[in-house]
Amino acid sequence: MRPKKNISTLKLHHHKHTAASQSVRIAPPKEVLLPMTMHAGAPAEPIVAVGDYVRVGQKIAERGEKGFSSPVHATVSGTVTAIEPYTQADGRSVQIIRIESDGKMEKDPAIKPPVANDVEEFLEVVAESGIVGLGGAAFPLWGKLAAVRRNQIDTVLINGAECEPYITSDHRMMVEHSDLIVKGVEILRKWMKSKRFVIGIEDNKPDAIVKLREAFAGDTSVEVLPLPSIYPQGAKQVLLYNVTGQVVKGGQRLASLGVIIINVSSLAKLAQYMEDGMPLIDRIVTVDGSAVKEAKNLVAPIGTPIEHLFEQAGGLNCEPGKVLIGGPMLGIAVKSMSEPTQKATNAILAMTEKEAKTFEPTACIRCGRCVANCPVSLNPAALARAAELEDEDQRFIRLQEYSIGQCIECACCSYVCPAHKPLMAQNLQAKRFVKKYKAEHTTEGRN
């Protein structure tokens, strides 16, 4: 049952300057850089060689063998110039394929609409589409839909919340391509046998709500649900609770509740792919921030260097203090303008020095704001103290006691902390520590 009161956390300034900005397809960049790790799961494995000529939509890397994975496709036509290691903005060293564009955007002639005769064939064609969660998680879409093998999926929550400030790429997808969202629902109805669809949209996007209500008029299985514009409304656990009243526990699969959550742009891309067979090769990226001359929504080939995107937005009006891939709450700061966009890149932001000002953390004053603003009722201050314990056994025990695994990595705690403590960053590190500790101690146990 839907709760009377939403889990409410942060009311942020929306800064959705590009909400009315029609998305514009850009001229192809001179080069794209395509990491093999643009998705959750095993890295993709290159199947092309340096010197090969590739066309738009051609598969250039297979799904990795281990676990979930996703293929990678050429996003421009041109020549493969390198397959090499690359250090990303998040510090990870990954393999990339570089393609020098010939500017022609020549389509792979082998591309045709996929055919599926049963649900297994459907999952296989979705896996080959390269579509992942475009809202940020980058979980391979086929992996999510594969829940249908084990669970009856009664309800599909379509996530159109887009709760981070500045970002309007899902918003534009809903306004400009409501037809694809209708087709996406039909596809899921056919293959997932789902009976109920709820499209959750923050109420700061009234035109998207109107558009989708018109598109689904008369279809009683689809509800277009306005949600309060409160961060982090689009987080899986928050959306689930606010729409259905259900709670997913740490380690529990959403599908075991008969629910899956799909980002609205991922659904539109699925519909497009089932219609024409073109895999995921581009997406809408919001280009904004106080250092950007003309904030815009641009349709860009995946792998486009961010420098090219800023140029397409009229360039920068000053030397930026900070450049982010993603939104201001969860985005990653980048040092190099040659950093490429990835499948889940919904925005790039360039902030002035003034806006980008950072503060040195000071001692916790036990004000409790982080606790009051955690959407999943954790105690971030206690987690931070636990993470600082020298003794690894004690650290592990305390982090488990304070339920580190439940942290949804939303950054609400860091945002409200008057001591400017990097609480979410500490939680990410603590999660890595817990994973490593468990792996080491399990191995020791077996030996």
What does the binding site for ligand SF4 look like in residue numbers (CB under 6 A)? 364-370, 374, 376, 378, 380-381, 407-413, 416-419, 421, 423-424, 427
Question: Could you give the CA distance from residue 173 to residue 187 in angstroms, rounded to a whole number?
Answer: 18
**Closer Cβ to ligand SF4, 95 or 379, answer by number:** 379
Task: Provide, rounded to whole angstroms, the least separation between the CB of residue 112 and ligand SF4.
Answer: 44
CB of 206 to ligand SF4, least distance (A): 28
**Whether 159 contacts 239, CB under 8 Å:** yes
Shortest spacing between CB 199 and ligand SF4, in angstroms: 25
Least distance from C-beta 143 to ligand SF4, angstroms? 23
Question: Measured from the CB atom, is 336 or 429 closer to ligand SF4?
Answer: 429
| CA–CA separation, 322 and 345 (whole Å) | 17
157 within 8 A of 248, measured Cβ to Cβ: no
**Please, which residue, 20 or 425, has the CB nearer to ligand SF4?**
425
Q: What's the chain's length in residues?
A: 447
Q: Which residue has the tokens 């887009």?
A: 162
Which residue, among 263, 182, 239, 170, has the nearest Cα to 208 in the 3D structure?
A: 170
Q: Which is nearer to ligand SF4, 301 or 380 (CB)?
A: 380
Which is closer to ligand SF4, CB of 81 or CB of 403? 403
Nearer to ligand SF4, 181 or 424 (CB): 424
* Residue (163 or 413) nearer to ligand SF4, CB: 413
CB of 382 to ligand SF4, least distance (A): 9
Please count the other Cβ atoms lying within 10 Å of the Cβ belonging to residue 126.
Answer: 24
| 268 or 329: CB nearest ligand SF4 | 329
Beta carbons of 350 and 333 less than 8 angstroms apart: no
User: Minimum distance between the CB of residue 329 and ligand SF4, rounded to whole angstroms?
Assistant: 10
For the CB of residue 6, give the shortest distance to ligand SF4 in the complex, in Å: 16
Residue whose CB is less far from ligand SF4, 305 or 328:
328
CB of 56 to ligand SF4, least distance (A): 39
Instruction: State how far the alpha carbon of 424 is from the alpha carbons of 106, 125, 408, in Å.
Output: 44, 37, 9
- The nearest distance, CB 376 to ligand SF4, in angstroms, is 5
CB of 364: closest distance to ligand SF4 in angstroms? 3
Residue pair 93/244 in contact (Cβ under 8 Å)? The answer is: no
The least distance separating ligand SF4 from the CB of residue 211, rounded to whole angstroms, comes to 31
Give the residue with the Cβ less far from ligand SF4, 105 or 330.
330
- Nearest residue to 36 (alpha-carbon basis) of 110, 92, 107: 92
Kindly tell me which of 148 and 235 has the beta carbon lying closer to ligand SF4: 235
